[in-house]
């Protein structure tokens, strides 16, 4: 290789190396830019800080309340308050509060605020039959200005709750045996507050295969789950039937308490057929004047005489 060729090759190598380094630098800048942009995005569904508010979302506020354990007949409102302040140099007026569902209440104490003035927003959730993680929101619109959004989060536990409101056995045959699984869950703030003796009772069914699991939850509550099987020996009486399944339990020195659900079934005829497949065979009728009880009906391969 001549000196000129060597010089040319060296220059080309430096140019290629420089190009590769520039490309790597550009890729690094792009990666840093994308990562930085993604890191600035806030998932509003994961916010759990009290009164969360920052420069990215200055008009979004949330509060997460401690878990609540309620009885079925407990209708108390789960509520909290937010402070709403006018940071502008002029008076502002809010329109009526907008709520996310009919299960909540929200009220703003004062609709018009002078510069620097504050008011209270009261926000609450009606438990009704709810359980598990809950999230509700409401919003207030500043007339001619911004919208402020408020969020309440909590977890509702039932002191005692069956997994289903009704155990359906559906259509059953007389004297046949059927089984349905069910579960009941108990919740308490400490493990010692969970019931220890639970007795099941039911007319018409037998409870068996009981399995019990106790576990702590991440929010500090304790849960006991009992899984069992309800066995039905179908009665001979045709038509609909049912009973109640009751769990009786007590906690410490408290009086026994009960939690019940319905159990239902429908006993069908053992000869249930489609009317289109039933008919009188004229050849089988000896005399047209005979009593209808002497007529022979055929159901597929089976022959039945109603007179017998």
Q: What residue spans define the domains of the chain?
A: 47-158, 160-267, 275-304
Tokens of 216: 């702590």
Q: How far apart are CA 188 and CA 148, in angstroms?
A: 36
Candidates 3.40.50.10790, 2.60.40.10, 3.90.79.10, 3.30.565.10; CATH matching 47-158 = 2.60.40.10
pLDDT above 70 coverage of the chain, percent: 72
pLDDT band at 291 (very low <50, low <70, confident <90, very high): very low
If one compares 252 and 34, the residue with the highest pLDDT of the two is 252
Side-chain half-sphere exposure of 263, counting CA atoms within 13 A: 23
Q: How far apart are CA 74 and CA 125, in angstroms?
A: 12
| Residue 9 pLDDT | 61
If one compares 42 and 202, the residue with the highest pLDDT of the two is 202
pLDDT(154) > 50: yes
Q: What is the mean pLDDT of the chain?
A: 79
pLDDT(131) > 70: yes
Q: How far apart are CA 52 and CA 42, in angstroms?
A: 11
Which of 35-39, 128-132, 187-191, 218-222 has the weakest average pLDDT? 35-39
| Residue 108 pLDDT | 94
Q: How far apart are CA 187 and CA 216, in angstroms?
A: 10
pTM above 0.85, yes or no: no
Q: Going by CATH, does the domain composed of 160-267 fall within 3.40.50.1450? A: no
Mean pLDDT of 70-96: 86
| Residue 128 pLDDT | 83
For residue range 36-67, list pLDDT tens digits in order. Answer: 433 333 333 333 344 445 446 678 999 999 99
pLDDT(227) > 80: yes
Backbone angles phi and psi of 40, in degrees to 5: -85, -15
Check for a shared fold between 47-158 and 160-267: yes
| Residue 3 pLDDT | 59
| Residue 112 pLDDT | 94
Per-range mean pLDDT, top range of 52-66, 73-87, 231-245:
231-245
Side-chain half-sphere exposure of 115, counting CA atoms within 13 A: 3
- Beta-carbon contacts of 186 under 8 Å, excluding residues fewer than 6 positions away, are 159, 160, 194, 195, 198, 223, 224, 225, 226, 249
Tokens of 252: 């410490």
């Amino acid at each position: 290789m001549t000196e000129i060729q060597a010089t040319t090759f060296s220059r080309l190598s430096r140019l290629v190396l420089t190009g590769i380094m520039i490309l790597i630098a550009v890729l690094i800048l792009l990666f840093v830019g994308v990562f930085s942009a993604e890191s600035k995005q806030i998932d509003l569904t994961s916010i759990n800080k009290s009164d969360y508010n920052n420069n990215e979302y200055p008009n979004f506020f949330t509060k997460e309340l401690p878990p609540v354990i309620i009885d079925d007949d407990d209708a108390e409102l789960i509520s909290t308050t937010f402070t709403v302040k006018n940071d502008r140099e002029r008076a502002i007026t809010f329109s009526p509060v907008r709520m996310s569902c009919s299960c909540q209440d929200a009220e703003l104490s004062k609709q018009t605020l002078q510069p620097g003035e504050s008011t209270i927003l009261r926000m609450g959730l009606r438990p009704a039959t709810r359980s598990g993680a809950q999230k509700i929101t409401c919003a207030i619109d500043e007339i001619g200005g911004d919208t402020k959004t408020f969020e309440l989060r909590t977890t509702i536990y039932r002191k005692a709750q069956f997994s289903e409101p009704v155990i359906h056995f559906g259509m059953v045959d007389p004297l046949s045996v059927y089984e349905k699984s069910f579960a009941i869950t108990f919740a308490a703030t400490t493990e010692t507050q969970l019931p220890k003796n639970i007795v099941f009772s039911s007319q018409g069914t037998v409870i068996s295969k009981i399995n019990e699991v106790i576990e702590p939850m991440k929010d500090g509550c304790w849960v006991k789950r009992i899984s069992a099987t309800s066995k039905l020996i179908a009665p001979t009486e045709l038509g609909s039937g049912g009973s109640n399944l009751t769990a009786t339990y007590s906690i410490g020195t408290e009086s026994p308490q009960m939690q019940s659900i319905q159990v239902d079934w429908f006993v069908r005829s053992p000869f249930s057929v489609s009317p289109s497949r039933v008919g009188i065979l004229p050849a089988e009728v000896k005399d047209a004047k005979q009593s209808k009880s002497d007529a022979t009906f055929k159901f597929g391969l089976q022959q039945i005489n109603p007179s017998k």
